[in-house]
Homo-oligomer: A and B are copies of this chain.
Amino acid sequence: MTTRTRRRADAERSIARIVAAARELLGRDPAATIDEIAAAAGVGRMTLYGHFPNRAELVEAALADALADGERTLSAVDLTGDPGAALDRLLASSWSLVAESSSLLAAAQEVLPPGRVRQLHGAPAARLEELIRRGQDRDAFRTDLPIGWLVGAVHYLLKGAAEEQRAGRLDAAEVPRIVTASVRSLLTPPG
């Protein structure tokens, strides 16, 4: 947070606009160009390069920003009480986050060193994993499948729902119900 030489206010503003634009464009198209991002941010390309030395650092900054936002939202979710209900609340908050930055993740995967994305993405995954564990302890969630897979599967379903919605095959209004119902089935003990 504290840099050696202090940064001017207009620079902060530019950086914020660039990161916001990057999140928006990369969230839709993982192949979005630096040119396009700069244009969408309303700054010249050179200004962008003044703050981010290359594409990778820009993508990482955008991802980190999106994840920080997510953390802020998700940490406010009440995960106590009945695990099923807690799961519903978590999904209700997670859904739009995933929808907005699913392809941002893909962009990061291409540009960042292997494992880096997973590392940055650790917090939300850990939150879900812990909730699942707690549900398992209370026999509310299944235990016959690896927990890593369960966490991953939830993510794949969320990403899939985002894709379906973007393609117009799913109405945004019904997505939350569909997602929660699907995930609950996935986590419920069989039989």
Contacts and interface: CB of A to CB of B under 8 A. Distances in A.
Protomer copies? 2
Contacts of A155: 160
Interface in A159-191: 159-161, 163-164, 169-170, 178, 181-182, 184-186, 188, 190
Interface stretch (A14-22, A63-71, A93-101, A144-152): A144-152
Given A160-B152, A164-B152, A169-B152, A145 B182 contact: yes
Contacts of A149: 161, 164, 169-170, 178, 182
A146 B160 contact: no
A142 interface: yes
A178 B148 contact: no
